[in-house]
Structure 1
Amino acid sequence: MPTAALDTSQLQNWLAAVARKDAQAFKFLYDATSAKLFGFALRILVKRELAEEVLQESFVNIWNNAGSYQAGLAAPMTWMTTIVRNRAFDLLRRVDHDVEIDADNFDMGIMQAMESTETTPARALEMTEDAKALASCMSRLEGLHRQAMAMAFFHDLSHSEVADHMKLPIGTVKTWIRRGLDKLRTCLTRLEA
């Protein structure tokens, strides 16, 4: 049975097993992380029933996409939190088409919390040094470019799905993602040096 204090490697092991459709590992992963992820969804959505819906959709997404998780890009909780965040924002947009989500400020708050050395709930996401470096470099990208990158790589959407979701031409999205990858590569290289 999972314990409250999980290490990143245990979550990575469960995600790898979930990628092989291991139902027992999925149960352990759910039991260990669902409370934190539900709290995160509730913070965005406020209404309990909406947060429950998003949590369920997110775990279906985790089950279906565990094979695309890459430990070098993000810690397991960061990857799962990004899925919950995107699902929550999608639901807000579906429920109220006129809703304006200040994703830039939200993203900056998350990025600052991930880079902070203070002990905060976001710090509990158990980020690796590589993930912190990635978060730092991601925070330097322009808001819409960062959003396109996050949808493509953390939410595993195709370029055409990102373009559809953002209501932009596919060529624009491809350019933003290509330039974003170049900027991330340059930034990460500087941090390593």
Structure 2
Amino acid sequence: MLAAGRRDAQAFRTLYDATSPKLFGFALRILHKRELAEEALQDGYVAIWHAAGTYQAALAAPMTWMTTIVRNKALDIRRRLDQPVEIDADGFDSEVIAALAAAGPGPAETLQRSTEAQALAHCMATLERRHQQAIGLAFFHDLTHGEVAQQLSLPLGTVKTWIRRGLEKLKNCLARREAP
């Protein structure tokens, strides 16, 4: 991921080869049509190529970060086709938490998970599901509070409160883990 962020085409190709089958399967589960899943995957990798330089390992595992990008592209396609968008909160939340907390090597084995990412995964897992979902949509999907409210069909104030409370709980949890 780091090399792809420096525009190393060979590194990006290696990353693509290692991750594309899983990401394609993920897009296919959302879109149910091979050609649409291929479109989402292509759009996702274009976005990954352009944003690789901004990737922050302390915030999410590489696969988690790429999965959210491809998921967003697949949801954009569903919206464009006027298909109802169903958020599989249980599945998505558990996949994000599991990917952050996984001890095994990621798709680019040269990257090592930082202790900050592990601490964040632990603290995210302690949050209420609604806070996990709101924070996940806002930060892993880079959605505004208004977009999160629209996705969850909730009032904007409720979403802002959930995110604020969730971030406060994350801050406290992370502070406790850093204390000797």
Q: TM-score, structure 2 length as denominator?
A: 0.72
Q: Per-residue deviation at 1:39? A: 3.3
Question: What's the CA shift for 1:182?
Answer: 0.9
Mapped partners of 2:96, 2:139: distance in 1: 17
Does the aligned pair in 1 maintain the 2:24–2:38 contact within 8 Å?
Answer: yes
Distance 1:42 1:109, change over 3 A: same
Q: Which runs of 5+ in 2 are unaligned?
A: none
Q: Which amino acid aligns with 2:157?
A: G
Q: Structure 2 matches for 1:38-57, cutoff 5 A?
A: 38-57=24-43
> In 1, distance between residues paired with 2:146 and 2:70?
21
Name which of 9, 20, 24 aligns with 2:9.
Answer: 24
- From the superposition, tell whether residues 35 and 136 of structure 1 become closer, same or farther in structure 2 (CA, over 3 Å): same
Q: 1:144 to 1:64 in 2, by over 3 A?
A: farther
* Alignment match, 2:127: 141
Once superposed, which parts of structure 1, at least 4 consecutive aligned residues long, lie more than 3 Å away? 22-33, 42-47, 63-68, 85-96, 99-102, 112-117, 123-127
What is the one-letter code of the residue matched to 1:104?
D
- The aligned amino acid for 1:168 is L
How many residue pairs were aligned?
173
Distance 1:85 1:168 in 2: 21
Q: Answer whether contact 1:37 1:81 (CA < 8 A) is retained.
A: yes
2:64 corresponds to 1:78: yes
- Superposition pairs of residues 1-193 of structure 1, within 5 angstroms: 11-15=1-5, 17=6, 22=7, 24=9, 27-28=12-13, 29-88=15-74, 91=77, 96-97=83-84, 100-108=86-94, 110-112=96-98, 114-115=100-101, 124=106, 128=113, 129-193=115-179
Q: Which runs of 5+ in 1 are unaligned?
A: 1-10
Structure 1-normalised TM-score? 0.68
Q: How far 1:84 moved relative to its partner?
A: 2.3
Checking the alignment, whether the CA contact within 8 Å between 1:26 and 1:63 is kept in structure 2 is no
Q: Is the 8 A contact 2:65 2:140 kept in 1?
A: yes
